Every structure is written in structure tokens, then in C-alpha cells.
Amino acid sequence: MTTECSQEPFPFHPLNQREIRGQFDGGSITSDAGGLLLREVEKRTNIIGQFASCFRDYRDPELVEHGVAELLAQRIYGLALGYEDLNDHEELRRDPLLAVLVEKEDLTGEQRRLVRDQGTALAGKSTLNRMELGAAKLGEKERYKKIILDEAAVDRMLVDIFLQAHDEAPKEIVLDLDSTDIPLHGKQEERFFHGYYGHYCYLPLYIVCGELVLCARLRPSNIDGAKGSVAEVERIVEQIRQAWPQVRIILRGDSGFCRDELLSWCEAHGVDYVVGLAQNARLLREIVAASAQAESQFQQTGKAARVFTEFVYQTRNSWSRARRVIAKAEHLEKGANPRYVVTSLSAQETTFPAPSRWGAKSLYEELYCARGDMENRLKEQMMLFADRTSTSWLRSNQIRLYCSTVAYQLMQALRRLGLAGTELAQAQCHTVRLKLLKIGAQIRITVRKIWVSMSTGYPYLDLFRQVYRNLEVIPLR
């Protein structure tokens, strides 16, 4: 961030005969010059712009100094650059580089209406907080919370961003469902203790395809982990099929989503699924022979042994029909480790010239186990501070979750468009931030130009140059 001019010296221990003296007199300095690359990504994707279109601003235009798009850009760029709290913006509002990212005309804030605000181009924490605390609809006598979010529009926008990321319709996509915990440390609305996680938390539902988030729904934790998943999947599938009528959709999730309501919906709407299935005594009896074979192989080799088998299975009460179940009878040094998945995919399906595409072994190891990458997506949400749900209300915490999700979409677009073919093509968000965005620079503003003089000692100049060139050839939106 910027530093204010001060002539107070800070003498440090000398180096041999040389005096070392520090002073805060370097002028406008930023630590986030790499954020200019994020601005180039936004110019080519309009991700923040699409998010801003989901809000309605009922403030008096004559009194507004920070538009909704500017407020959201300030918040989202801040998250991407590592500033998790609104309090951070009391200092960030003075940073001319962030003002450039936000598209402020008055980069130094010298033309602000109030004298107390002059010298600060951007919004402070209170203004940003009022945006996040917006109500579901405008009250008749509301004085402050006049920026209203249409949550349904944001949900559609997340799917739109996914569709826009593809030049042409794929033949097949896999939607991953998962939930995670967001620990709570205050008295937030809908705060409950969760026995599995061992603390008070929210239980958000995420739906992801590849690296793109299609749903981020904040939920209380006193519910079944699959609650609401049918409604979310239904709207997402409908929107995707409007754009790609012929695409094949496969739903993937752990055993927490093995609910007849979800499986039956998939079967009725032509969506395939592969979902984990929790073991029970009946399932264990089905794989006695396979388990004995795996144990025998382990005894002979001393190495982990896997034997795959499959059978048709129906629960006594909870399922409406019998379904294909794949079982992995595995024996490790610690003992048996059986696993099960239920699927609508047929072992007879072939992809020429391959024989069986969805045989028991390939379906489990190549398709189901690939859902482990979903864990990386959840980790990256936390790298963009999705866990900062510290307001008192569930709705405002949902808005914060949306902001973090949009910040992630922007970072993912940087990775997809700018980092393709580089050493950071698969890097997670915190690595991209550290190596590519955190660049020290001096800012000089003239009538015709904004000079961003980045550190000569920046160690990833070749990487920066390649990312810039990758983005340069992509048309603006």
C-alpha cells in the first residue's frame, strides 16, 4: 500500500562503516503492482462487471461518490491481493494503484466533496460495509442500506461465467458437489454446533466443474449435508442445457450426497451420476470373496492390494429402485479398507476403440477418485477468504461468500488465460498472488500518464512478461 511522506528518520545498525537510515519519504509506493494483470483479465472477461449488474443502487445519484461497480471492484481486487477484512481498506483507500484497478478518475482523491475525504480516492470500510449489509429489498424508510443484491442473478451469473470460459460446447462435463465447514467465532445468525467438525460453523454447498465454481450457497450446519442440492443442480443443469443442449452431464459426490431424491432426479432428467455409498453390513457381505482375495494378495506381496467387483443393490427402505454399485475391496497394512460407489453409468458403454469405458476399476479409479481435485477448489476458496463470514446475519455473510467466489473466478481466469503454458499454470491462488501480484512499485501520476515503476529486483520478470503477452492477444470485451 502507499506510504505517507514523513521525515522522521529510523537509524539502523550500520553495515561496516556505512550508516543505514530509513525514512518514509519514498512517495506513492504500492506492494501490489501485479494487480494490473488482474485488471487486464477483467477487461477481457468482465467478471466483476457481470457481478455488479446483479445489484440495484437506490442511493441519490447526486450524493454518490463510489458507484456499485467501483465498490465491488475495490472489495474483490482487495481479496485477490490478500486483504481479507474491510478494516484493511481504511489504508488501502489511499493506494493509487488500487484506484487504477477500480477505474477511478480521481486517483489521489483530491477532488472529493468532503474535506475529510480528500486524499483518499477509494471508499472506506463503512461504505463497503453498508454495501455488504444490504437488505433483500428496500425498506420504505431505509436511510443507509440502499444497495440491494439479487441473489438469483448472481447464481445465474456464476453459470454464465462457466459457459463463457469455453470456446465451444464440450461433449461431456462432470459437476462435483461438496460441502465444507466455515468455523464461526461469534453469535452469527443460524449458528449451530456441528458434531463431525467439532465446532460452531456454517456448512456451505459448492458445485464445481473443473476449476470453475457454479454454486456457492451458504447454509446453517444443523442440516443434512445434501439439503438443497437437488434445487441447485436442477437450475444449473437447466441453464447449461439451454446453452449446450447436447452436452452429457455427470454428477459426482461423496456419500453425503447419496440420497434417493438426488439420484432419482438425475435418472428422471438424463443426468448420470457416480456417488459414494457408505458401507453397512449388507454391503460388506456382498464383497466377502473379493475381500478375501485382496487380503491373500497382500499377504503374498506385502503391498496394498485392490480387488474390484460390482453388483446390483437396493436398500430396504430409502431407495426407490435397485442400482449398480461398484465395490473396492482393499487390504492395507492396517487392515481392510472397503469403499463403495453407486452409479447410473453402464459397464457396457464403450468408446471406440477402447473396450469398456466404465468397468468397475476404471470407473472408480479414473472417474470417482478424480473428485479429489474438488478439495483443491475448496482450499482455494479459503485462500480468497470465503471463511470471513463474521457479520451477524446469514444474508450479508452470503454476500461476502459471493465476493470471495467472484475473486476466485477472477484469479482462475488469470490462471486459465494468462498462466497457460507457464510454470504457474497449475499453481494455487496463494502462490499466484505471492509470485505474480505482490510486486513493489513506485506510482507517479501526471496529466497524461500513470507511471508504475516496478522493482528492478523482481525475480519473476520473465514469467510476468509471458503472462502479459498471453493476455495481450485476447480481445477486450
CA angle 94, 96, 98 (to 5 degrees): 90
Instruction: Write down the pLDDT at residue 261.
Output: 97
Task: Please state whether the peptide bond connecting residue 9 to the residue before it is cis, i.e. omega within 30 degrees of 0.
Answer: no
Instruction: Write down the pLDDT at residue 410.
Output: 98
**DSSP secondary structure, 387-418, as one string:** T---SSSHHHHHHHHHHHHHHHHHHHHIIIII
Distance between CA atoms of residues 267 and 64, nearest Å: 51
Instruction: Write down the pLDDT at residue 351.
Output: 52
With beta carbons less than 8 A apart as the criterion, state whether 371 and 339 touch.
no
Q: Which cell is 382 given?
A: 479459503
Strand partners, 308: 328
Instruction: Write down the pLDDT at residue 353.
Output: 47
Q: pTM value?
A: 0.93
Closest among 367, 365, 275 to 319, alpha carbons compared: 275
SS3 state at 406: helix
| Cβ burial, residue 300 (10 Å; 0-12/13-18/19+) | exposed
With beta carbons less than 8 A apart as the criterion, state whether 354 and 309 touch.
no
Tally Cβ neighbours within 10 Å of residue 101: 23
Maximum pairwise Cα distance, the chain = 85
Please report, for the chain, how many H helices and E strands are present, in that order.
16, 19
One pLDDT digit (tens) per residue for the chain, 477 residues: 544 555 788 999 999 989 998 888 788 889 999 999 999 999 999 999 999 999 999 998 988 999 999 999 999 999 999 999 999 999 999 999 999 999 999 999 888 888 888 889 999 999 999 999 877 777 666 777 789 999 999 999 999 999 999 999 999 999 999 999 999 999 999 999 999 999 999 999 999 999 999 999 999 999 999 999 999 999 999 999 999 999 999 999 999 999 999 999 999 999 999 999 999 999 999 999 999 999 999 999 999 999 999 999 999 999 999 999 999 999 999 999 999 999 999 877 655 445 567 899 999 999 999 999 999 999 999 999 999 999 999 999 999 999 999 999 999 999 999 999 999 999 999 999 999 999 999 999 988 999 999 999 999 999 999 999 999 999 998
Closest among 405, 408, 407, 402 to 149, alpha carbons compared: 402
Instruction: Write down the pLDDT at residue 356.
Output: 66
Could you tell me the sign of the dihedral formed by the alpha carbons of 437, 440, 445, 448, in that order? negative
Instruction: Write down the pLDDT at residue 366.
Output: 94
